[in-house]
Amino acid sequence: MTQQIDEAAMRRAIEAKRDGAELGADTWEGIVAGYLRGTIDDAQMSAMLMVSLWRGLSIDETAALTKAMVESGERIEFPAEQIVVDKHSSGGVSDIVSLVVVPLAAACGARVAKLSGRALGHTGGTIDKLDAIPGLRTALSIEEFIAQVERIGCAIAAQSERLVPADKRLYRLRDRTGTVPSIGLITASILSKKIAGGARAFVFDVKCGPAAFMHRREEAEELARELVAVAGRFDRRARALVTDMSEPLGRSVGTGIEVIEARNFLRGELRDMRVREAALRVAGELLALAGIAHPSESAAHALDSGAAYEKLVAMVEAQGSTRAALEGMALPERSVEALATLDGYVNSIDAVEQGNLARAWSTSESTGGIIVGARIGDRVSRGDVLARGFGSRANAEALQRTFTIASEKPDPRPLVYSCHPERSAEGA
């Protein structure tokens, strides 16, 4: 039975955590239940969140909090014989990997069930992007979601209100109290939603750099390790990649404009090399977890044969839209150009600002946003086009200010910094 935590018990728990104690699983369960029931108020919960951020949560505590959060709502159950997989990005700019990889992995025979969120801050949300496809529905019922994965092999749906209601309440409070950047709280937030979503194995893409939630490499590595370790406690297999987010991943920044890039990428019309590397790597890990033979070759073949594009069309149609609607998506007519003001090398790109600009420019036209021409390290001459802004609100000067040019070529950075292997499940 859930331990009842009243105001006095919560005060004792906050004091114990403040003084360095580890709280037990029953206590975490009682805290989450009490907060949802209203016997614990925002003041006490805020104190617990802050002390958890400062003291840190042990793996046992994070697993206990995750379990309590999963149990706060409904869970999706896929048939036991299916190895359903899911991928999750910790949030980036021009991150079209989900739009590419979900149909790509499904085209190779995996079953991919992806629950996604909306944009957080400057980072794009896959659901906002899909909403730009005319007629497409992301509000699928649990039954529709399961049936679609069974029938065509993939679905991307909006996180239902009925799954992990505790996360919504806690995230809002964390946002108001400066307690979002805690490895333990982030792990519990992400994993509780993934576990309730029903998949048996996950690939996490932990972004690292100025435009990611994790700015520092050590923090990103720690989050990656923790996601894999805590997933193991729930008998879920997981791999976590730490990838670079110091510039937009792809060539487009916005919502509908990123769908156009993903569509063109899958059709083989425009293949940015960084997107290709990221997509094939994530797809390869997903396919390996799903038990598909020759994951890398299989993913490359599905991409190059057009099978992955046809799977995207099947998913779009299954979710209420049409091939014609997807293929009819076009850039706004009005565009502006951001030009290089001197000769040199692109030294930095402010992807946070580009994310904010693209968000503003895509409010009136869903395909408004940015197409980035120059990447960090590219040699440019005065007058070269660095990027184009699309939409009635696009502003060349604001876009130009997101680039800095220097005389020295910056050191190259890898796209994938590390990959954390799955650990053996230690029991839930």
Lookup result for tokens 């909090």: 65
Token pair in block for residue 224? 């990656």
Which residues contact residue 122 at a Cβ distance below 8 angstroms, ignoring those fewer than 6 apart?
93, 211, 351, 352, 353, 355, 356, 359
Strand partners, 244: 208
Q: Which of residues 264-293 bind ligand URA (CB under 6 A)?
A: none
The nearer residue to ligand URA, 180 or 329, going by C-beta atoms, is: 180
Q: How far is the CB of 162 from ligand URA (least distance, A)?
A: 17
Among residues 90, 189, 321, 362, the one annotated as catalytic is 189
Among residues 17, 111, 129, 174, the one annotated as catalytic is 174
Token pair in block for residue 175? 């946002």
Token pair in block for residue 107? 């085209």
What burial letters (b/e) apply to 69-104, b meaning 16+ CB within 10 Å? Answer: bbbbbeebebeeebbbbbbbbbbbbbbbbbbbbbbb
Tell me which of 189, 319, 321, 362 binds ligand URA, using CB under 6 A: 189
Which segment (14-22, 149-157, 186-194, 298-306) binds ligand URA by CB under 6 A? Answer: 186-194
Q: Is 19 a catalytic residue?
A: no
Which segment (12-20, 22-30, 47-55, 179-187) binds ligand URA by CB under 6 A? Answer: 179-187
- Reduce the DSSP state of residue 337 to 3 states and report it: strand
Q: Is 122 a catalytic residue?
A: no
The nearer residue to ligand URA, 127 or 299, going by C-beta atoms, is: 127
For 380, phi then psi, to 5°, come to: -130, 155
In order, the DSSP letters of 15-53 are HHHHTTPPPPHHHHHHHHHHHHHTSS-HHHHHHHHHHHH
Total of residues contacting ligand URA (CB under 6 A): 7
Among residues 193, 207, 225, 239, the one annotated as catalytic is 193
The nearer residue to ligand URA, 190 or 280, going by C-beta atoms, is: 190
Q: Which residue is nearest to ligand URA (CB)?
A: 189
The nearer residue to ligand URA, 90 or 366, going by C-beta atoms, is: 90
Which residues contact residue 48 at a Cβ distance below 8 angstroms, ignoring those fewer than 6 apart?
10, 13, 14, 17, 31
Q: Does 331 bind ligand URA (CB under 6 A)?
A: no
Rounded Cα distance, 193 and 102, in Å: 18
Q: Is 193 a catalytic residue?
A: yes
Helix axes 165-177, 59-70, angle to 10 degrees: 130
Tell me which of 65, 136, 190, 318 binds ligand URA, using CB under 6 A: 190
Q: Does 186 bind ligand URA (CB under 6 A)?
A: yes
Q: Is 321 a catalytic residue?
A: no
Which amino acid makes up residue 18?
R
Q: Does 123 bind ligand URA (CB under 6 A)?
A: no
Among residues 88, 111, 225, 251, the one annotated as catalytic is 88
Which segment (133-141, 180-188, 268-276, 301-309) binds ligand URA by CB under 6 A? Answer: 180-188
Which segment (178-186, 227-235, 270-278, 407-415) binds ligand URA by CB under 6 A? Answer: 178-186
Q: Is 167 a catalytic residue?
A: yes
> Which positions lie near ligand URA, rule CB under 6 A?
90, 180, 185-186, 189-190, 213
What is the set of active-site residues? 88, 167, 174, 189, 193
